[in-house]
A and B are shown apart, each in its own frame.
Chain A
Amino acid sequence: MSPETVADHLEIQQVLYRYCRGVDRGDAALIASVYHPDGIDEHGPWKGLGRDFVPVVVKHMDALGVIGQHHITNVLIEVRGNEADVESYYIAYHPEITADGPGHALTCGRYLDRFEKRDGRWAIAHRRVVLDVTRARVEGPPWPGAAGFPAGGRREADPSAGMFR
């Protein structure tokens, strides 16, 4: 593998991680940065331009008042010049408010992405979200010891505010 291809792999991975940070932290600009201007996201019931998806997801998750996590695990990448097929497994502890109150759904699936490198920048040209394993609610009470740790938040309310500027 050439140094250029190694760099492609790492750059694409970072885009995937930025998407997760953007969604979990509610950072609209960060989420928008992962799509090309004409990039499409087929996100379950929502389909359209990735950039139009941004305000929808930020507003929706701001309203929940629950912090979740999107973990990217396996990232299988096939680079062909300035295009790449990318399959990324994810595990999400997805904020949900149900009749039982605030909590998390467990949603595990894959992002099926077509990445394109334009003007030296790798970004998503097309994303399709697949769900493989889900549970409506992660069961059990919160761990009491968590009170001794800083909790995650949205934007300025998160301990990482000020990083990655």
Chain B
Amino acid sequence: MSPETAAAHIEIQQVIYRQARGVDWGDAAMVAGAYHPDGVEGHGPWTGLGRDYAQTVAARRKEIEAPTQRHVTNILIELRGDEADVESYYIAYPVQVTPEGPVRLFACGRYLDRFEKRDGRWAIARRLSIIDAHRAELPGEPWPGAAAFPAGGQAV
């Protein structure tokens, strides 16, 4: 692997992690920065520009008090010059607002991304979010020891 290809791998990984942090933190600008201006997000029932998705997801985040997390694990990258096919596995603990109150879900899936490098910057040209395994609720009670640790927050 050439130094240039190694750099592309690291840069693409960091874009994926920033997008996840942006969603968990409710930071629209951070999410939007992961996409090209015409980059598309296919998110289940929602498909549209990544930049519009950023606004939608950040607004939805503010409806939920509890921290959320999406963990990105395997990141498979196939580079072809200034384009790359990228498949990223994730494990997510989102929260859904229901009439009975907020419920912690569990979902495992993949982001199928087409990355493009434009003006020296790698960003998402198209993302399709896939769900492979899921549960309507992450069962059990919170760990009592958690009280001694700071909990995650969100953008103000």
Interface of A with B (CB < 8 Å)? Answer: 1-3, 5-6, 9-10, 44-45, 71, 73-77, 87, 89, 91, 94, 105-110, 128-139
Contact = CB atoms under 8 A, between A and B. Distances in A.
> Chain B: interface secondary structure?
mixed
Contact of B150 (A89, A106, A107, A130): A130
A3 B4 CA distance: 8
23 contacts: A2-B7, A5-B7, A44-B145, A73-B71, A73-B73, A74-B17, A76-B14, A76-B21, A77-B14, A91-B71, A91-B91, A107-B143, A107-B146, A130-B150, A131-B146, A131-B151, A132-B152, A134-B143, A134-B145, A135-B138, A136-B141, A136-B144, A137-B140
B69 A3 contact: no
Given A74-B17, A74-B21, A76-B18, A133 B150 contact: no
B69 A135 contact: no
A1 B12 CA distance: 11
A134 B138 CA distance: 10
B50 to A, nearest CB: 18
B31 interface: no
Given A3-B6, A130-B150, 19 more contacts: A3-B3, A6-B3, A6-B7, A45-B148, A71-B73, A73-B72, A75-B13, A106-B143, A107-B145, A108-B69, A130-B151, A131-B152, A132-B151, A135-B143, A136-B140, A136-B142, A138-B140, A139-B139, A139-B140
Contacts, number: 107
B104 interface: yes
Nearest to A105: B143
Nearest to A128: B150
A7 B138 CA distance: 38
B25 to A, nearest CB: 10
Interface in B120-156: 138-146, 148-152
Given A2-B7, A6-B6, A108-B93, A44 B148 contact: yes
